[in-house]
Structure 1
Amino acid sequence: MQVPLFQIFWNDGDIEKIGDVIKRGMFWTTGPDVERFERAICDYIGARYCTTFNSGTSALHAGLLAHGIHAGDEVIVPSFTFIATANAPLMVGAKPVFADIKRENLGLDPEDVQEKITKRTKAIIPVHYGGCPCSVEALREIAADHNLLLFEDAAEAFGAEVQDTKVGTFGDLAMFSFCQNKIITTGEGGAIVTDSKELDERLRLIRSHGRQEHGNYFSSPECPDYVGLGFNFRMPDILASLGLGQLENVDKIIAMRRRCAECYRQELSGISWIKVLETPPGDFNVYQLFSVLTDDAGMAREDVIKQLQDFNIASKVYFSPVHLTRYYRDTFGYTGGELPVTEEIAGKILSLPMYPALQRPEIAYIAHVLRNLGD
């Protein structure tokens, strides 16, 4: 049996939508499906505005630019995340300031965030790890008390909820990623949702060269004006059409992932050196990742990964601490010990295969191999 780390959910509807774009012979770059996808995201998440981008990283970059974050500013971020979260402040000249995480949800610890706020702090970027909501309500209160931007990094949490309210609606704005292993995917892609019309207008300028557009640039006879400095961060229409197909099945995709997570809980029970992470009460986890903590395994985690690989089972560490990567060590002088919970969790975390089509026999096989490792 071979079990990959992830597989993309797709059906004939996805193929048909892409085929329709190809056959029309125009508007592959920007076109009507981008607008449809943005509106569909708004309707699903419950936000007033949505701007799509060619990646979640571009969206993070644009979001900070749109809020005027610049050199001399500080942005509080977790180190337990994909590196783009921490890099985004650097892209606009600001400094990422790392705060520790909570064991309960692996998101930013509001108490440590409070300790890291200085007169230079301008924003907080919390991450909803692996599809599990972070302590976003407490972070929202802190941001409001200090007049800080709250920018949700919901790259992994499309469809997650806190008390029946969708993640992505708690902050001033939120980023979603549509990379290939996310809840829904366009291959590469991202989006920002917000309730601010002014912010949405700035984001649209930034994503397309600072161009003030009225209609489609590629078909309009008008010569548009360039009113600011921008980038080519646009999502192609052909990928937006794929996103529309994926979004039609998002509730099914999430239900399948949650079924897989429940199967894992049952099959992994009784394995003494594996701790299955629990979702805090009232939160709705969409399980973009299924991660466990490896305790008292009797072998190094790297050996566990290698032995799983020997049985054709993929696994991966999501995530190693950003502040201990070579770049951040060399640039900021981190040596370890700065974020004790982050470093402890990152030393034990292991992500197992998780995707909608994963079946119980495959999960049972993974559990069997884990249970018998070292025998």
Structure 2
Amino acid sequence: MKILHTSDWHIGRTFHGQSTLDHLRQVFGAMVEIVKQNDVDVVVVSGDIFDSSMPSAENFTVLSTVLRDIKAAGASVVMTSGNHDSATRLGFQSEWAGLAGIHVITGFDQYLRPIIIEDEYGPVNFYGIPYLEPSLIRHHYPSHELKTHEQVLTFAMDGIRADIARSDARSVVLSHCFVSDVAASSEATDVERDITAGGLNLVPAAAFDGPDYVALGHIHGRTTITERVRYSGAPLHYSFGEAAKPRGGWLVTLDAGGLDEVTWIDFPVPRRLSVLTDDLEALLSDATYASAESDWVCAILTDRVRPVDAMRRLQRRFPFCAMLEHRPSVVVESSATTYGERVKQKTDREIVAGFLEHVRNGVGPSEFETDIVNDVFAEQRVKEASE
């Protein structure tokens, strides 16, 4: 059996205010071709199908289209709900969809009823664990302590392992969670939400001992925990923090004895992400940056003074410039003395000049600005003398 492991589709998510639906349609089209070319039997999606618990009608249409196309290409689908999804909305009419080979698992205890798909070697049991928030399910099991994700996932996997022990079938588990072998603080990007301080959301890899393969979701980058426990990552880049992470899925092959081979298959990247660091004039004129003109661009400006109207000027060359940061190449060292101590022996003009130098990262007043300051103080002296 060949399984394409994907996750975190996040249908409906925007990228810095721009819709990603057209790009996602391109990737889904490529995914369908991968299913055809590799004779994939099952596509699994480990949570976060939608980006919102209230997806729009257009988002549902995108999902319906890709599911129909995957089925027409010859593969079944097994998917679970993630923390972004509404389990109720995603699971609506899942019973009828399952009759067509589209299996949507959203119920908190549905993992105990595996989806059984057969190949020439016999049955394969797919156990889908939806995102299980401890505070929302612990009341179903009052005799068990279920305060953390580790406790909840261990409890769920204990039930799955018991079912595996009763069956000769090979097994695949889907789960949407943070595994402790992945450093959540460094691996998670700004779109991977719900990271709890203190590690309450982390689950040790050992909790998933038993199945032939574990298809994880929640982390947006490709990650191998063990040979049989992996993250596939998201199909699109949803943050500049993901720029260096490849997009694709794992092609998992099961033989008669269980896991045989796992290989990576790249998905197309409809628009690259580029992080450009230089002063504004160089970004606007240097030929070195010509290759990024059609990319999503994060521009990091190194000018000593923040340029005026920088985003508008950048977007003339880089129409898809989506993010702007100012990191001056020269930064004035901070002082431990108080402001009052620093200006105590200074004249009014020196105080103004020092203020301008401070807020503009070491750049003091120009000759024109000095003349304005002198004029203002002169007018003030005249006013004070006439009172």
TM-score (norm 2): 0.27
Question: Could you say which structure has the greater relative contact order, defined with CA pairs below 8 angstroms and 6 or more residues apart?
Answer: 1
Greater Rg by CA: 2
More strand by share: 2
